[in-house]
Chain A
């Protein structure tokens, strides 16, 4: 079946511009996560959506970052006024429920963001 998809795969932008990154989770997965991974570094948690609950935004690094999930499916991560330190790979993951709670996370291919 179809996995998690993300678009665009690559995005080059100029400092100060806004960008939108899209994630299509696996159908039926109620939990959706966004991570950031800088070159050679580990995964940095950004935000977590689960069903209709309020999202866990505790990982967003600044108020320039926001995310929404429409209809419990597609999610968009928006970065306003991009800075060079925002350059990284942005990964989305979705997970099914196991025993009523999110379980294994399945990752998309990521969006490589480069801010010039």
Chain B
């Protein structure tokens, strides 16, 4: 059973701080990695995708991938209350095994 693990949270950070969300996966063949954000009562929306080891930045968001450690993370700089949501990590192996993690609930406190 291929697994994706995340801390369920809630992760609470003060407004303006950096939020760090972590994800580990078991399938060493995984090649594509995604972070989704899901607001309560809404469907998941893509934040970032990452395919190569290292960092990928998009605005206040940075995804970090380490395939050797089977670890992917998402950093949110200057966290805002509007960032409060559940963040889902997803991992895929060439379209054969797309697995979502259980999600981490983030709360940004004003």
A residues apposed to B, CB below 8 Å: 31, 33, 35, 42-43, 45, 48, 50, 91, 98, 101-110
Contacts and interface: CB of A to CB of B under 8 A. Distances in A.
B88 interface: yes
A105 B91 CA distance: 11
Nearest to A56: B96
Interface of A is mostly: strand
Interface residues of B, number: 20
A98 B88 CA distance: 21
Contact of B95 (A102, A106, A110): A102
B101 A42 contact: yes
Given A42-B101, A42-B102, A104 B95 contact: no
B95 A108 contact: no
Contact of A107 (B43, B49, B92, B96): B43
A101 B30 CA distance: 13
Contact of B103 (A33, A42, A102, A104): A42
Q: In this complex, which of A43, A45, A108, A110 has the most chain B Cβ atoms within 10 angstroms of its Cβ?
A: A43
Contact of A104 (B34, B43, B88): B34
A43 B44 contact: yes
8 contacts: A43-B88, A43-B100, A45-B98, A102-B95, A103-B32, A105-B46, A105-B90, A109-B43
B45 interface: yes
Contacts of B96: 101
Interface string B62-87: 00000000000000000000000000
A4 B95 CA distance: 19
Contacts of A42: 88, 100-103
A45 B50 CA distance: 22
